[in-house]
Structure 1
Amino acid sequence: MQTYRYEVRFLTPAFLGDAEQSGRWRTPPFKAQLRQWWRVVYAAQAGFKPGLEAAMRQEEGLLFGNAWLTDGFRKSLTRMRFDKWQQGSLRAAQWSSLSTVTHPEVRQAVASDLYLGYGPVVLPRGAQRPTLKANAAIQAGESAVLSVAVPAQHADRIEQALALMHRYGTVGGRSRNGWGSYALIPQEGTPELRGALPVRDWQRCLELDWPHAIGKDEKGPLVWQTTPHADWKELMRTLAILKIGLRTQFRFTTGRNAPQPEARHWLAYPVTNHSVGPWGGSARLPNQLRFKVRALANGQLVGVIFHMPHRPPPAFHPNRTAVEHVWQQVHAFLDAPAQKLFRIQGPKP
């Protein structure tokens, strides 16, 4: 077995629910992350060839455990453990609401944490400020040591997946909005994180209905970075402003039970007060655009926005032309000088 040890340090609060839905150090979210990014590495090494899923699921089931292979249930060959399992140190009574942002579709200013964290962050009836829904969350700056053990023959892909977790990974509730951003810091005896950026032409990515690569266009990878910020609170406000802007550029002409989807529905679904009748009440379409917070060597933080394009599930009857048009507008919005973002390149092999 090949063993790795990393300090996991959170850069923004993480909403990792235990049995009581309070934040606690737990390995399952990180094993899920490792599995997700392992698939991305596998797809890139397979050259994104058609039909790769069958062989990938076979190998994934052997490595991470399964109950679907023809020879029966198998335990995971991948082992993970933290050196501590305690509850997060950030209590609901200590939650300090972030500064507000303007939303053109809302009459009053909206707290940044409520906008980006709605669900784990709530505004109780009669309250003036948002707070945590659960008893606790893991605070920014908290850390623990994660040990990972895998069979040596799988070490190459696992190492590359861990590197992608470090650069793009987030865990917990509302993690696609940047909550639960973390850094993996190799401990003594563990090699430095390495691996190339798995990119693919973003329109070709729409051939598959699962996130298998970071998109690219004629300008390069679809990865944008903010200017440096002194702390996570102001950075999350910046991310809230960006998300509001890229969403509200698509204006609705219908309300509840629209007869067909509008452009904004393809960003993420459901949308409050703007349902699509043919999609029903239980349809879920996660946003393909993800936020991540990274730490710089000088202690400042930057926000990273990246697009993992894929075709919406068949149940949505996606119109490819409409989907492409929406994402072209999003890319143009993020490239516009007014957003003060710049494209960044990934690591080379």
Structure 2
Amino acid sequence: MVKQDYTVSFVTPAFLGDAEQNGSWRTPPFKALLRQWWRVAAAKEHNYNHVKLRETEGRLFGNAWLENNFSQSQVKLRLDNWRSGKMNAWAEAPKSISHPDIKFPVDANLYLGYGPLTRNKEAKKTTFKDKLNAAIQAEESNALKIIYADGSNSAIQNTLQIIHWLGTVGSRSRNGWGSLEFGGDGVVFKPLEQNNPLLQVISRPLEKCLELDWTHALGNDDKGLLIWRTKENYVSWREAMKDLAKIKIAFRTSLKFNRHNGQMDCRHLLAYPVTNHPVSVWGNQKRLANQLRFKVTKTAQGYIGVAYHLPCGIPSQLLNALTEADRNWIVKQQLGVWQKVHGILDQQMQRI
């Protein structure tokens, strides 16, 4: 077994809850994060075959379903402690931004963190939901030990490198909360650069990614990888998050609702549900997670916001619930919708 020690630090506050939804350091979310990005790192090697990939994942991370091959996990994680988060109240000053669909200024923190965050109407400020001890604050760190089978060394190392580049954890992590980084004595991770061989291995053309209904690769197009960074370097994570909120509003509101009420429309392809614009056959219970994700990264020049696209088709459970007309509409429109979103990001940000 190989044993490696790291320091894991949060760049932005993490809504990483325990059983009572209070902010707390726990290993299960980090184990889930490792598995999530391992799938992306290993997908090409398995020819993007989800059945073979799942079998290998089961043998590496443990399973109770492989016939005659049940196994415990060969990967173990240990945190130095499982302490509660230190952010006991949301004291961040509102970062007001404008939204074309809303008449009054919007707090960027609330826009990207709605759920664990809410608005106190009486005090007219953003607060934790239900006033719980809901976050691990930025700059908090913990010692993390990872133990794994020697034969898995390259796969685990590649996965940790990808997490260092793009990983976030906890509630609303796809919006940049819970952005993390690894460090430690003698630990060296490479910077996020377009020509890194590992990034090329885990990327596929956008059109190919949309053919599968599960997350398996970063997208690329004729301009390169679908990874962007903010044009500016900021002195704090707060300013980087504010910029990401403005960028999200820009690409979402560029997609207007032009079809009849209850039909699938362009903005539904980004994530679902959409406030005040339900798809009739999906109702309010169906969920489509964001494919376009954010992260805040700390560099020698300051903080930057990162956006990246892990494209995939609409999951079959959602697709099969739609009318035939809406399914045909998706086939014709899906690629063009994402290309329009990428065009907005090319204007608002810059490719790595």
- CA–CA distance in 2 between the matches of 1:264 and 1:111? 22
Select which of 190, 200, 204 maps to 2:204: 200
SS in 2 for 1:293: strand
CA contact (8 A) 1:13 1:140 kept: yes
- Please say if residues 98 and 237 of structure 1, whose CA atoms lie closer than 8 Å, have aligned partners that are also in contact: no
The match for 1:323 is 334
Aligned residues: 333
Q: Is the 8 A contact 1:5 1:145 kept in 2?
A: yes
**2: distance between equivalents of 1:259 and 1:297?**
48
The alpha-carbon deviation at position 55 of structure 1 amounts to 1.5
- Structure 2 CA distance, aligned partners of 1:245 and 1:192? 32
The one of 242, 254, 268 aligned to 1:249: 254
Aligned-partner SS, 1:230: coil
Letter in 2 for 1:301: Y
**Structure 2 counterpart of 1:76, from 70, 73, 76:** 73
Residue of structure 2 equivalent to 1:132:
128
Aligned to 1:224: 228
Partners of 1:179 and 1:191 in 2: CA distance? 24
Q: Which residue of 2 aligns with 1:234?
A: 239
- d(CA) in 2 for partners of 1:224, 1:98: 25
State how far apart, in whole Å, the 2-side matches of 1:53 and 1:269 are.
24
Q: Which amino acid aligns with 2:285?
A: S
Match runs of 1:293-332 below 5 Å? 293-298=296-301, 300-317=302-319, 318=327, 319-332=330-343
Partner secondary structure for residue 74 of structure 1: coil
CA distance in structure 2 between the partners assigned to 1:253 and 1:191 by the alignment: 50
- The CA distance in 1 between the partners of 2:240 and 2:211, in whole Å, is 34
1:267 to 259, 266, 270: 270
Contact 2:227-2:351 at 8 Å conserved across structures: yes
Decide whether the 8 Å contact of 2:262 with 2:277 is kept in 1. no
Deviation at 1:127, TM superposition (A): 2.9
Q: Give deviations 1:43-94, integer Å, cap 9, x for gaps.
A: 1333xx35x21211111011111222112643211100111211111112x5
* Aligned residue in 2 for 1:55: 52
* CA shift for structure 1 position 236: 0.7
In the alignment, the residues of structure 1 paired with residue 269 and residue 134 of structure 2 have an alpha-carbon distance, to the nearest angstrom, of 33
Unaligned ranges ≥5, structure 2: 191-195, 320-326
What residue is the counterpart of 1:105 in the other structure?
101
Q: Residue 333 of structure 1 aligns with which residue? A: 344
Counterpart residue identity of residue 277, structure 2: H
What secondary structure, in the 3-state scheme, does the structure 2 residue paired with 1:153 have?
helix
User: In structure 2, do the counterparts of structure 1 residues 140 and 323 end up closer, same or farther at CA, with 3 Å as the change threshold?
Assistant: same
Q: Would you say the 8 A contact 2:263–2:279 is kept in 1?
A: yes
Paired residue for 2:283?
280
Q: Which amino acid aligns with 2:62?
A: G
Q: Note if 1:214 corresponds to 2:197.
A: no
TM-score (norm 2): 0.90
Aligned to 2:36: 36
Note the 1:174-185 alignment, pairs <5 A.
174-185=172-183
Q: Is the 8 A contact 1:98 1:233 kept in 2?
A: no
1:79-158 matched pairs, under 5 angstroms = 79-92=76-89, 94-133=90-129, 134-158=132-156
Q: 1:187 Cα shift?
A: 3.1
- Contact map agreement 2:16 2:134 (CA 8 A) in 1: no
The one-letter amino acid of 1:32's match is A
- Aligned residue for 1:323, secondary structure, equals helix
| In 1, Cα distance between equivalents of 2:281 and 2:259 | 14
Q: Percent identity?
A: 45
Q: Secondary structure at the match of 1:6?
A: strand
Write the deviation string for residues 190-219 of structure 1: whole angstroms up to 9, x where unpaired.
Answer: 565697111110110112111111100001
Secondary structure at the counterpart of residue 198 of structure 2: coil
Distance in 1 (alpha carbons) for counterparts of 2:97 and 2:250: 11
Calculate the aligned-residue CA RMSD, in Å: 1.7
Amino acid at match of 1:295: K
Q: Give the deviation of 1:126 after TM superposition.
A: 2.4
**How far apart are the structure 2 equivalents of 1:101 and 1:245?**
11
Q: Could you tell me which amino acid in structure 2 is paired with residue 140 of structure 1?
A: A
- Cα drift, residue 2 of structure 1: 1.1
8 Å CA contact 1:293–1:302 kept in 2: the answer is yes
Q: What amino acid maps onto 1:276 in structure 2?
A: V
Displacement of 1:288 after TM fit?
0.5
Task: Give 1:175 deviation, angstroms.
Answer: 0.4
Displacement, 1:42?
0.8
Hey, what's the Cα distance between the residues in 2 that align with 1:233 and 1:192? 24
Q: Distance in 1 between matches of 2:266 and 2:134?
A: 37
Provide Cα deviations, 1:286-310, integer angstroms capped at 9, x if missing partner: 1100001111124x11111000000
Residues 64, 330 of structure 1: alpha-carbon distance in 2 compared, 3 angstrom cutoff: same
Within 2, Cα distance between the matches of 1:281 and 1:136? 26
